[in-house]
Structure 1
């Protein structure tokens, strides 16, 4: 398993991480994702470690905390062999302090996560959403104290806009507080918005991308076909509205190219979609999930081989969409383009 440095830190993470959103099975949304219990989770953890997948990602809202509980129990004595990433900020209850990134909520969230995970530290703690009500200095000084206390090792964010992340980075630098080294983001062949602002920011400031929903919220499995109904058993029947929007024409055009490349390589559609993401600038780790060992084995087959230049170019061409303002002049006009070469060429 290839390992990469996470942003501007000394932490090395595997290019594939495991997302424990399928663990627990509580609630309508996460119950549709999966209901892996501790016994099955132990088998998944063991196979991940055999393959070199040592990063496990979860969150307090996943199955109302049950994901963290199952993950902690499944790791057991193997805790020191892995990196645990978890997140907090989204509502976990109806109370006025049951959401956000206030000092009150963050300290309680970390304490509760440590208890559920059965550990004394969290390797990467991420703010699951931006909280417009809490001053950024309160957030960052709280994280600084949690690092000093030994409760967390590294700090990241998830689902932040460019200005929100940049503001946090600037304030951290000004005060000597821990910088965000990771940004957990949605990124896929049918959702490339990450590239417009967040990717250049990540490259400039040293923030590694941890990619969530790399198969487009379950649409790039090879089972969703043009002109056909959703397959029986697909979680999209109950979860589509909660995920990222997608253009159906784009989806089917991308799947056509994925299927063609699958025929050329002997790989599966999802393996090709995942492999493409591992080639993208700033991506440190692609977070994959699995309801069972068969799904996990399929996802593990996404690495250890390379797409050729022509295949990469075809995937880039079919999935690319017109640039939004203010980016389109830099693609269309020579004067602008000279000032903004692609990230890889800088």
Structure 2
């Protein structure tokens, strides 16, 4: 396992982050704890959860699993979505953030959260209120660093500007969806994060299971995340000819290297410029072991470029116009 600096900070995280969204749901507590311990034993030091995963059960399992090794790892969680049937139990208001952090600390059985992330932008709460509250949490020691997730480029830049103007703590990370079959962040968000030294922690790195190679053209899934009719991992969003051409290339590279398609997709992402630590999940210990096989080796330049080229976005306006007149020395 290799390590990278987490954005504009002084801490380092493993090149893979273990996501815990399935813990307490499709993955039972025993297997969930086993995954965490295996991950730490194999050099991983970065765990990601959220207060709404399985109604807080994920945080409880994580807290139970890490007690004897708390200081050895970087623990990330999130706040923003609804936690109760009450109009003020949602959003990024000072009230909801302060209620949320106390509840997360209790479930995680810890005194502090290393990385506290805003799960998505709140169009009601002024960003100044959100950032002032987060700055107070950092000053109090309950939170060490802050980050965002699913923000647009202008939302990230506005947040950084407000923080700089008011001398508040800055976001050091952004957690977007990003994979070979979901590269919309290439337009604005990824270049911004590189420019501003904001760590990128992609979720959905194997396209919700699409890049495992389990599904073929005309074969709608009957199990797994792709069966959902809603959300970013629905079959309707994955079932396109371009995505299947990308999958064909992943399968070809995997066969040439004697690796699994998931390992190839993750390895491409690990070595993508601007990417700090992809967040992978697993329902079973077998899936966990397979995903961990994505580290310890590197795609050749030819294999990496083949995957990068076939999955690249089209050069639409204004990007092709700007590219045409780009000045370089």
Could you state the TM-score of these two structures normalised by the residue count of structure 2? Answer: 0.95
Query: In the alignment, which residue of structure 2 is the partner of 1:236?
Result: 226
Q: How does 1:99-114 map to 2 (within 5 A)?
A: 99-114=90-105
Kindly state the Cα deviation for residue 330 of structure 1 after the two structures are TM-superposed: 2.9
Within 2, Cα distance between the matches of 1:246 and 1:40? 29
Query: In the alignment, which residue of structure 2 is the partner of 1:68?
Result: 59
Kindly state the Cα deviation for residue 326 of structure 1 after the two structures are TM-superposed: 2.2
Kindly state the Cα deviation for residue 36 of structure 1 after the two structures are TM-superposed: 2.2
Query: In the alignment, which residue of structure 1 is the partner of 2:135?
Result: 144
Within 1, Cα distance between the matches of 2:218 and 2:239? 14
Q: Is the 8 A contact 1:3 1:13 kept in 2?
A: yes
Between Structure 1 and Structure 2, how many residues are aligned? Answer: 326
1:256 to 248, 251, 254: 248
1:184 to 175, 184, 188: 175
Kindly state the Cα deviation for residue 240 of structure 1 after the two structures are TM-superposed: 4.7
Map Cα deviations across residues 195-225 of structure 1 (whole Å, 9 max, x no partner): 1101111111110100101011221111011
2:71 to 64, 69, 80: 80
Query: In the alignment, which residue of structure 2 is the partner of 1:303?
Result: 295
Within 1, Cα distance between the matches of 2:177 and 2:300? 25
Structure 1: tracts of 5 or more residues without a match: 26-33
SS at match of 1:241: coil
Q: How does 1:316-335 map to 2 (within 5 A)?
A: 316-331=308-323, 333=324
Within 2, Cα distance between the matches of 1:139 and 1:326? 33
Query: In the alignment, which residue of structure 1 is the partner of 2:162?
Result: 171
Kindly state the Cα deviation for residue 252 of structure 1 after the two structures are TM-superposed: 0.9
Kindly state the Cα deviation for residue 229 of structure 1 after the two structures are TM-superposed: 3.4
Could you state the TM-score of these two structures normalised by the residue count of structure 1? Answer: 0.91
Within 2, Cα distance between the matches of 1:148 and 1:56? 23
1:117 to 89, 93, 108: 108
SS at match of 2:174: strand
Aligned-residue Cα RMSD (Å) equals 1.5
Within 1, Cα distance between the matches of 2:225 and 2:120? 24
Q: Is the 8 A contact 1:58 1:67 kept in 2?
A: yes
Kindly state the Cα deviation for residue 72 of structure 1 after the two structures are TM-superposed: 0.7
Query: In the alignment, which residue of structure 2 is the partner of 1:159?
Result: 150
1:92 to 83, 86, 89: 83
Map Cα deviations across residues 233-281 of structure 1 (whole Å, 9 max, x no partner): 33322x2521253351122101111111111111110000000001111
2:204 to 213, 216, 221: 213
SS at match of 2:138: helix
Structure 2: tracts of 5 or more residues without a match: none
Query: In the alignment, which residue of structure 2 is the partner of 1:275?
Result: 267
SS at match of 2:211: coil
SS at match of 1:283: coil
SS at match of 1:218: helix
Kindly state the Cα deviation for residue 35 of structure 1 after the two structures are TM-superposed: 3.3
Q: Is the 8 A contact 2:184 2:313 kept in 1?
A: no
Q: Does 1:2 align with 2:2?
A: yes
SS at match of 1:109: helix
Within 2, Cα distance between the matches of 1:192 and 1:323? 13
Q: Is the 8 A contact 1:169 1:179 kept in 2?
A: yes
Query: In the alignment, which residue of structure 1 is the partner of 2:283?
Result: 291
Query: In the alignment, which residue of structure 1 is the partner of 2:31?
Result: 40
Q: Is the 8 A contact 1:136 1:168 kept in 2?
A: yes
